[in-house]
Amino acid sequence: MATLPQHDPGERMTQLDGLRAFAVVAVVVSHWTPDFLIGIVPWGTGVQLFFVLSGFLITGILLRSRPEDLGTSLWASLRTFYLRRALRIFPVYYGVLVFSLLFSVGPIRESWPWHVSYLSNFYYSHHDHGPAVTDPYLHFWSLAVEEQFYLVWPLLALTVSRRPLAVAICLAVVASTVFRVFIDRIDPSLVSIRYLTPSCLDALAIGALAAHVKHYKGGKATRRLAWIFACVGVGGLAVSVLFLSRVLDANTGHRIGHTFLVIFYGALVAGAATGFGGPLGRVLVWRPLIYLGTISYGIYVYHYFAPAALHWLGNRVPSVALQSKTAVLAAYTVFTLTLSVASWHLFEAPLNRLKSRLPYPRPSSGPGS
């Protein structure tokens, strides 16, 4: 999951918050009720929608902070970017890790170095994991992917010129697909390819491409790109599922189809960035949905701990042990929303307001201005 930046003032794209809410709900459903409508709704790819959103928003911020356009220093742009990201991401994440270490939650004593260093994705790509009740840290793999993306992408987005950057983004999409298709044949020790950053690069790059088009060509071109993404994504998915999975093999068809799915998600992000009309547009700006999108980082971080928390409570207070699946899901929901709402209002939002002291660089004043 990506923890997404707030948009710049005047650049607020409210429908993206609604889309973010759908992404986190899909992730939660895939973890709590993995068999619900399985094969009909791709719940498990909600995290890929987060990656597309993150690639779009992060790249948009970076393109608006380019030193050559603003007449500022590269150091100023990088420093502001990393400080703002750290202020948004680190407190909740490391707070959870500290709590887990203090109370020995799950296998934290063995795996904490991987989580602290944002290498959870490498850890889980080579180690089997138990259910959330016994190992509530698996979902940290996506946060590790985000941080590894932040190590390289800001420097490229801030320094590479317009056309080469667009080419690099498109090549990243292709390279990610090729990586997924061939890496498992090269390294059979992998438990899961999808946790590795190169596997997720197509989703991040599709978001970046939408941001590139919006920044340099404007809203009309972005809406046109959304239609192109939608057609390519749906057509490619159909070919992957109905043809490639039979002509090649199911695994290869799935890995190629993954790229077309994130291209379709790119259509949703590009469309929401320019504003959907009609019923979809009204749904995406529905206030409860916007609020869920606002607190989605907390929901993502805390929701995977719900099974372990309920199991711990049931062992100590037998009267609260729940037998009904509906009651269990309700308890998970209450646990997650309570923590997420409290975390946002008491912890995250106050820290977020400190970002006003870290404004992005502005154009330097020229002579005589």
Give which of 285, 253, 124 is closest to 194, Cα–Cα: 124
Residue 217 lies in a domain: yes
Residue 369 lies in a domain: no
Residue 89 lies in a domain: yes
At 143 the pLDDT is: 97
Distance between CA atoms of 124 and 114, rounded to whole angstroms? 10
At 320 the pLDDT is: 64
Give which of 264, 211, 270 is closest to 237, Cα–Cα: 264
- How far, in Å, are 27, 191, 215, 266, 275 from residue 220 at the CA level? 31, 43, 11, 16, 11
At 369 the pLDDT is: 34
At 3 the pLDDT is: 53
Which domain covers residue 19, as residue numbers?
14-357
Distance between CA atoms of 292 and 308, rounded to whole angstroms? 23
Residue 271 lies in a domain: yes
> Do residues 52 and 169 make contact, with C-beta atoms less than 8 angstroms apart?
no
> Do residues 169 and 212 make contact, with C-beta atoms less than 8 angstroms apart?
yes
Angle at 12 between CA 7 and CA 17, to 5 degrees: 80
Residue 5 lies in a domain: no
- State the helix-helix crossing angle for 46-63 and 250-274, rounded to 10 degrees: 50
Residue 299 lies in a domain: yes
Report CA dihedral (275, 270, 283, 257) to the nearest 10 degrees: 160
At 250 the pLDDT is: 82
Residue 110 lies in a domain: yes
Give which of 313, 342, 343 is closest to 328, Cα–Cα: 313
> Per-block average pLDDT, block size 10, for the chain (369 residues)?
46 88 95 79 85 97 93 93 95 97 95 97 91 94 97 96 97 96 81 92 98 96 98 94 84 90 97 95 96 97 96 76 84 97 96 90 55
Distance between CA atoms of 351 and 87, rounded to whole angstroms? 7
> Do residues 15 and 276 make contact, with C-beta atoms less than 8 angstroms apart?
yes
Domains of the chain: total? 1
